[in-house]
């Protein structure tokens, strides 16, 4: 699959980011596809780490991430970086920054992923062990619905435009990383990965379904999963039994992977 970066290099150089204040203002040069309410736009997220053993799969880059990635790509190009380095830097810009990172590390360590990787803690995946991880999105290029970030509705397998986006870009990435473990960030990504697994794009037993999303908005579910909150103290919006079942399933999945590695 050719690098789209070659096609968009000059458009990135010429881009006036200060003049792009909304998805609707993204220059037409970056439009990849449009169908009805849906549009997708190029982002320099083509870097794939072939040595990755873990693929963290978000839903889709949003508008803010598009701007940050374009800014970083322009900075790298101006500094004379190679295409490979520019694409890698653009993809990693802002990945799991702020409060989301310690939550994510704690969740991965709780199910034993660090032992399967042979490291002390998944915290080092964002430092010295970064070569073990691929930060990805099931919709690689930003998808907007009525000019707003796609957030999981409608479900990806139920919409032809979204299915095509998954198959055109993410499936290519997954084919390069057949032995990696896939960590979906949220239920809608889990559903998309399951749909891809049913079509042979990746192996179902390599998907770690059920981790709570590590965002601050999901603090109660994260705290319960990690044993930091008692079931009796949970609010009505949190299903403790469902989280318990997911934790047991994930720990057993990691045990089997360890036994077979």
User: What is the distance, to the nearest Å, from the Cα of residue 233 to the centroid of all Cα atoms in its chain?
Assistant: 31
Q: What are phi and psi of 13, to 5 degrees?
A: -60, -40
Whole-number pLDDT of residue 6: 93
Residue at 97 is within a domain: yes
What confidence tens digit (pLDDT) does each residue in 83-126 have? Answer: 999 999 998 886 776 678 899 999 999 999 999 999 999 999 98
Is 140 exposed, middle or buried (CB count within 10 Å of its CB: 0-12, 13-18, 19+)? Answer: buried
Contact 157, 192 (CB under 8 A): yes
Residue at 71 is within a domain: yes
What is the arrangement of strands in the sheet containing 143-145, beginning at the earlier edge strand?
A: 31-35, 38-41, 143-145, 148-149
Q: Is 147 helix (H, G, I), strand (E, B) or coil?
A: coil
Residue at 2 is within a domain: no
What confidence tens digit (pLDDT) does each residue in 115-163 have? Answer: 999 999 999 998 899 999 999 999 999 999 999 999 999 999 999 999 9
Spell out the long-range contacts of 153-157 with Cβ–Cβ below 8 A and sequence spacing 24 or more: 153/188, 155/188, 155/191, 155/192, 156/188, 156/191, 156/192, 156/195, 157/191, 157/192, 157/195
Contact 251, 112 (CB under 8 A): yes
Residue at 1 is within a domain: no
- Could you tell me the pTM of the whole model? 0.94
Whole-number pLDDT of residue 172: 92
Residue at 125 is within a domain: yes
Q: Is 49 helix (H, G, I), strand (E, B) or coil?
A: coil
Q: Pick from 60, 52, 98: which is nearest to 192 by CA?
A: 60
What confidence tens digit (pLDDT) does each residue in 187-229 have? Answer: 999 999 999 999 999 999 999 999 999 988 899 999 999 999 9
- Asked whether the CA dihedral 240, 242, 243, 247 is positive or negative, the reply is positive
Counted domains in the chain = 1
Residue at 85 is within a domain: yes
Task: Give the domain extent around 134.
Answer: 9-260
Beta strands, E only, the chain: 31-35, 38-41, 54-58, 133-137, 143-145, 148-149, 181-184
What confidence tens digit (pLDDT) does each residue in 15-59 have? Answer: 999 999 999 999 999 999 999 999 999 999 999 999 999 999 999
Give the residues across from 57 on adjacent strands. 136, 184
Residue at 192 is within a domain: yes
Residue at 4 is within a domain: no
């Amino acid at each position: 699959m050719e690098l789209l970066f070659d096609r968009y290099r000059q458009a990135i150089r010429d881009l006036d980011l200060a003049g792009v204040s909304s998805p609707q203002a993204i220059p037409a040069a970056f439009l990849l596809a449009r169908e009805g309410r849906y549009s997708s736009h190029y982002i320099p997220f083509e870097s794939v780490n072939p040595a990755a053993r873990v693929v963290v799969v978000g839903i889709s880059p949003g508008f803010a991430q598009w701007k940050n990635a374009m800014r970083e790509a322009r900075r790298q190009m101006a500094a004379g970086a190679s295409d490979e380095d520019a694409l890698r830097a653009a993809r990693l810009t802002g990945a799991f920054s702020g409060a989301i990172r310690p939550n994510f590390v704690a969740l991965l360590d709780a199910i034993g992923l660090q032992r399967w990787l042979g490291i002390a803690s998944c915290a080092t995946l964002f430092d010295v062990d970064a070569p073990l991880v691929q930060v990805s999105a099931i919709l690689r290029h930003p998808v907007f619905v009525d000019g707003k970030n796609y957030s999981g509705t409608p479900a990806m397998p139920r919409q032809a435009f979204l299915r095509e986006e998954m198959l055109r870009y993410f499936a290519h990435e997954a084919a390069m990383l057949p032995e990696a473990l896939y960590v979906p960030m949220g239920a809608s990504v889990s559903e998309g990965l399951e749909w891809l697994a049913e079509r042979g794009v990746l192996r179902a037993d390599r998907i770690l379904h059920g981790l709570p999303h590590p965002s601050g908005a999901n603090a109660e579910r994260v705290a319960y999963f990690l044993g930091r909150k008692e079931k009796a103290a949970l609010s009505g919006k949190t299903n403790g039994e469902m989280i318990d079942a997911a934790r047991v399933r994930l720990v057993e999945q990691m045990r089997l992977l360890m036994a077979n590695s």
